[in-house]
């Protein structure tokens, strides 16, 4: 009886990030986040000095105590490391999507060979060296490897992917009323005369020079310019259209609007840029501030 009472309880979870890191960890109940940091530094040789951690959508404080309860249900600890992108960083939020897994694959050596998985965080979105594959066989292709990395560093990444996912999951029809998005080669064989949904075009707008298939200045024909939000210039921080096509307070509560005002004042950025990062960080004021400060440092 005494042995059972004295037995220390342990639990397991995985530490992941968007570079492909995926480490199984076993800890005792009530282990501090500081102790976990030391473990990652000494056993796995990771530099966690500029890392933030979150699980189930909650950013952990530096003095947090780790228990099995806070990791339910996904048992994943997401790590955001600013040092990986010193000039341009983006928020890595583990609850950006619900029930979606993001897989990173490496196709650099042999494109004909099945890609080797390098890690995962969300579901059914697969990223390899040259393209992004979304549920239903949708593919976003890039003509150079650096384009994918540039997109990942854009603070609009989560909100734009989420917008597209919402359209797909809710079966938003195209101009012909057709909702057939199951073809594996849907975008590979797309027809110039086939009108695409504005939601998808808006997602693609920042990448128009990378995926332009016919040398057109637009991503797709037939999409009015008013449906686009201008591409975000990470260095300038202000899109060309100054965000006139965007309701900057859309769906924000009074508390969130006040938080957005404080973020703009503290970080010295325009409201359009702050809102994009604020949404990507799931309206977490502290995380938004940290991300913006790392991008403007």
Model pLDDT for residues 38-94, shown as the tens digit of each residue: 999 898 888 787 777 878 767 788 889 999 998 887 788 877 654 443 333 333 333
Q: What is the mean pLDDT of the chain?
A: 60
How does residue 164 score in pLDDT terms, banded at 50, 70 and 90? low
| pLDDT tens track for 257-274 | 888 888 888 888 878 778
The pTM for the full model equals: 0.34
Q: Stretch 194-216: mean pLDDT, rounded?
A: 43
Cβ atoms of residues 135 and 168 within 8 Å: yes
Residue 11 confidence (pLDDT)? 92
Whose tokens are 């004021």? That residue is 285
């Amino acid at each position: 009886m005494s042995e059972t009472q004295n037995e220390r309880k342990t639990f397991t979870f995985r530490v992941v990030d968007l570079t492909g890191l995926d480490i199984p960890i076993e800890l005792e109940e009530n282990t501090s986040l500081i102790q976990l940091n030391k473990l990652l530094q000494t056993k796995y040789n990771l530099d966690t000095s500029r890392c933030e951690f979150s699980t189930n959508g909650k950013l952990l404080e530096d003095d947090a105590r780790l228990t099995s309860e806070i990791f339910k249900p996904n048992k994943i600890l997401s790590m955001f490391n600013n040092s990986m992108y010193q000039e341009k960083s983006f928020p890595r939020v583990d609850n950006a999507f619900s029930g979606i897994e993001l897989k990173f694959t490496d196709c650099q050596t042999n494109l004909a060979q099945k890609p080797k998985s390098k890690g995962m965080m969300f579901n059914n979105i697969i990223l390899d060296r040259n393209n992004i594959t979304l549920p239903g066989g949708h593919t976003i292709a890039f003509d150079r490897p650096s384009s994918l990395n540039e997109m990942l560093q854009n603070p609009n990444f989560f909100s734009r992917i989420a917008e597209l996912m919402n359209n797909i999951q809710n079966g938003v029809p195209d101009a012909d009323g057709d909702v057939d998005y199951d073809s594996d080669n849907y975008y590979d064989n797309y027809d110039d005369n086939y009108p695409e949904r504005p939601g998808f075009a808006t997602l693609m707008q920042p990448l128009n020079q990378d995926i332009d298939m016919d040398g057109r200045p637009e991503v797709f024909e037939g999409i009015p310019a008013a449906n686009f939000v201008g591409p975000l210039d990470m260095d300038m921080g202000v899109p060309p259209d100054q965000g006139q096509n965007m309701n900057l307070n859309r769906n924000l509560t009074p508390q969130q609007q006040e938080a957005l005002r404080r973020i703009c004042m503290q970080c010295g950025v325009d409201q359009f840029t702050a809102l994009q990062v604020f949404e990507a960080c799931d309206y977490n004021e502290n995380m938004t501030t940290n991300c913006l400060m790392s991008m403007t440092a």
